[in-house]
Amino acid sequence: MKQSRLLLADDHAIVRAGMRKTLEEVPNLILVDEVGNGPDVFAALEKYPIDCLLIDVSMPDFDPIYAMGVIREKYPELKVLVVSAHDDDVYVQGLLSAGANGYHMKDQPLNDLKLAVQRILDGERWISSNLLDRLIDHAQGKKPVPLLTNRQRTLLQLLQQGFDNQTIAQETGLSVKTVENHLTRLYRQLNVQSRLEAVNFSMRNPQILGTPGKDAAESTEMGSHENQKDINILVVDDNARYRKQLQRMIGRIVPRATIYEAKDIQGAVHLAQSIEFQLSLIDVVLGDVDGITCTRRIKAIRPNSRIVLMSAYPDREFHKQGLQAGAVAFLDKKDLDLSTLRQLIEDVTP
């Protein structure tokens, strides 16, 4: 019978020792190496022929979703079993969507780990039974995500940034008392009791932050929209005013679109983990980082996504790197008018 080669990755030596002892009982399984951080994972994958990667993704220097996408792209035949103490639904679904073959909870009996490895090596999927039951119950009993007003979406985004009521009042031009009243209605709408619960709700349900195109538009282009298809569009730019400008333009062209916005890579990646975007518009310059990195990370999660990079300062090298990262186009911001946007949107909605 063919022997299978396994790489064990966990940053806790004691935990590795326990898993190693269990894995030694699996027939025809060879433990090739043990590693404890992200760079060592990739070094070992380059060094050894591996059939299965058993990994706790909460390791130093390891970005779980992005790294999982890279591993899946470079080693398409590799079986990946995540072993974790985290049971957050979005976290689990994000890793499975990024390419993990299975997800095993650390609090389960070690005998279950042996079974999980065997199932994964046999080409099956694996999710710990307690987690699977909860995911099924959640999917069957999930309540519709409430529809928010533009004001409520703005408040929720400011809460995510950790702003207090005084800062929110300054950002929105409202009085502190008015902000408090709006937040009270927002909490009631979400059925939560505090700002922390509201932020947690939005992190679990990122689609709640999407702005319907008809709400984003100040006016609508003439003509019928009956034949328009629903489309999700992501706008990533660290300039809030420019994000709103693009939202208004997109809403005028395709009122049935749902438009999401992010000011940085972290926010964009979080959205991409849960939502499939037909089109993403990403600024090349995002604070201290770059939109090319953002493009790579989104493509790792959503390889079929169509990404357009934009910049107020077009640069030939940026253009080259952006296309290599997976962008389909690189546009000067001054050329991104209604006509150009309409063409981009029509290209993804045949």
Q: How many other C-beta atoms lie within 10 A of the C-beta of residue 60?
A: 10
> Does the pLDDT at position 217 exceed 80?
no
In this predicted structure, what is the pLDDT of residue 252?
87
The pLDDT of 55-81, averaged and rounded, is 88
Percent residues over pLDDT 70 in the chain: 88
The pLDDT of 51-71, averaged and rounded, is 88
Residues 55 and 125 reside in one and the same domain:
yes
Tell me how far apart the alpha carbons of residues 317 and 308 are, in angstroms, rounded to a whole number: 16
> Does the pLDDT at position 221 exceed 70?
no
Residues 173 and 257 reside in one and the same domain:
no
In this predicted structure, what is the pLDDT of residue 225?
43
Check: CB of residue 235 under 8 Å from CB of residue 278.
no
Q: How confident is residue 174, by pLDDT bands cut at 50, 70 and 90?
A: confident
> Does the pLDDT at position 197 exceed 80?
yes
181 compared with 141, residue with greater pLDDT: 181
In this predicted structure, what is the pLDDT of residue 226?
42
The secondary structure of residue 60, as a DSSP letter, is T
In this predicted structure, what is the pLDDT of residue 136?
60
Percent residues over pLDDT 90 in the chain: 30
The b/e string for 269-288 (b: 16+ C-beta within 10 A; e otherwise) is: bbbbbbbebbbbbbbbbbee
Residues 119 and 29 reside in one and the same domain:
yes
Boundary of a domain, candidates 116, 140, 164: 140
**Rg (alpha carbons) of the chain, rounded to whole number:** 23
Residues 6+ apart with CB under 8 A from 19: 8, 10, 54, 83, 110, 113
Residues 18 and 75 reside in one and the same domain:
yes
In this predicted structure, what is the pLDDT of residue 347?
81
Q: Tokens 């990024």 correspond to what residue?
A: 98
Residues 272 and 322 reside in one and the same domain:
yes
CA 262, 265, 268, 274 dihedral sign is negative
Express each pLDDT in 309-329 by its tens digit: 998 876 778 788 888 889 998
Q: Check which CATH number belongs to the domain holding 168 and give it.
A: 1.10.10.10
In this predicted structure, what is the pLDDT of residue 281?
94
The span from the first CA to the last CA of the chain, in angstroms, equals 50
The b/e string for 191-210 (b: 16+ C-beta within 10 A; e otherwise) is: ebeebeebbebbeebbebbb
The secondary structure of residue 108, as a DSSP letter, is S
Check: CB of residue 279 under 8 Å from CB of residue 346.
no
Q: How confident is residue 79, by pLDDT bands cut at 50, 70 and 90?
A: very high
Q: Could you tell me the residue range of the domain that residue 179 belongs to?
A: 144-207
Q: Provide the β-strand partners of residue 329.
A: 308
The pLDDT of 285-296, averaged and rounded, is 80
In this predicted structure, what is the pLDDT of residue 134?
59
The pLDDT of 91-96, averaged and rounded, is 77
Q: How confident is residue 138, by pLDDT bands cut at 50, 70 and 90?
A: low
Residues 190 and 298 reside in one and the same domain:
no
Residues 54 and 87 reside in one and the same domain:
yes
Point out the least confidently predicted range of 62-66, 166-170, 255-259, 290-294: 62-66
Q: How confident is residue 342, by pLDDT bands cut at 50, 70 and 90?
A: confident
Q: How confident is residue 75, by pLDDT bands cut at 50, 70 and 90?
A: very high
Entry field: residues in the chain = 350
Boundary of a domain, candidates 92, 110, 140: 140
Which amino acid, 260?
Y
Residues 15 and 131 reside in one and the same domain:
yes
Boundary of a domain, candidates 113, 140, 167: 140
**Token pair recorded at residue 259:** 């438009």
Residues 6+ apart with CB under 8 A from 199: 156, 159, 160
349 compared with 346, residue with greater pLDDT: 346
The b/e string for 106-143 (b: 16+ C-beta within 10 A; e otherwise) is: bebeeeebbebbbbbbeeeebbbeebeeebeeeeeeee
Tell me how far apart the alpha carbons of residues 158 and 165 are, in angstroms, rounded to a whole number: 10
Which amino acid, 226?
E
> Does the pLDDT at position 213 exceed 80?
no
In this predicted structure, what is the pLDDT of residue 72?
87
The DSSP result for 33-46, as a single string, is EEE-SHHHHHHHHH
Residues 56 and 105 reside in one and the same domain:
yes
How much is the pTM? 0.54
Check: CB of residue 305 under 8 Å from CB of residue 327.
no
Residues 278 and 298 reside in one and the same domain:
yes
Collapsing DSSP states into helix, strand and coil, what is residue 59?
coil
Residues 43 and 124 reside in one and the same domain:
yes
In this predicted structure, what is the pLDDT of residue 137?
54
Overall domain count for the chain: 3
Point out the least confidently predicted range of 67-81, 144-158, 167-181: 144-158
In this predicted structure, what is the pLDDT of residue 54?
97
Q: Check which CATH number belongs to the domain holding 57 and give it.
A: 3.40.50.2300
The pLDDT of 103-112, averaged and rounded, is 86
Which amino acid, 189?
Q
Mean pLDDT (the chain, rounded): 84
Residues 223 and 165 reside in one and the same domain:
no
Residues 6+ apart with CB under 8 A from 280: 233, 234, 235, 236, 268, 272, 298, 305, 306, 307, 308
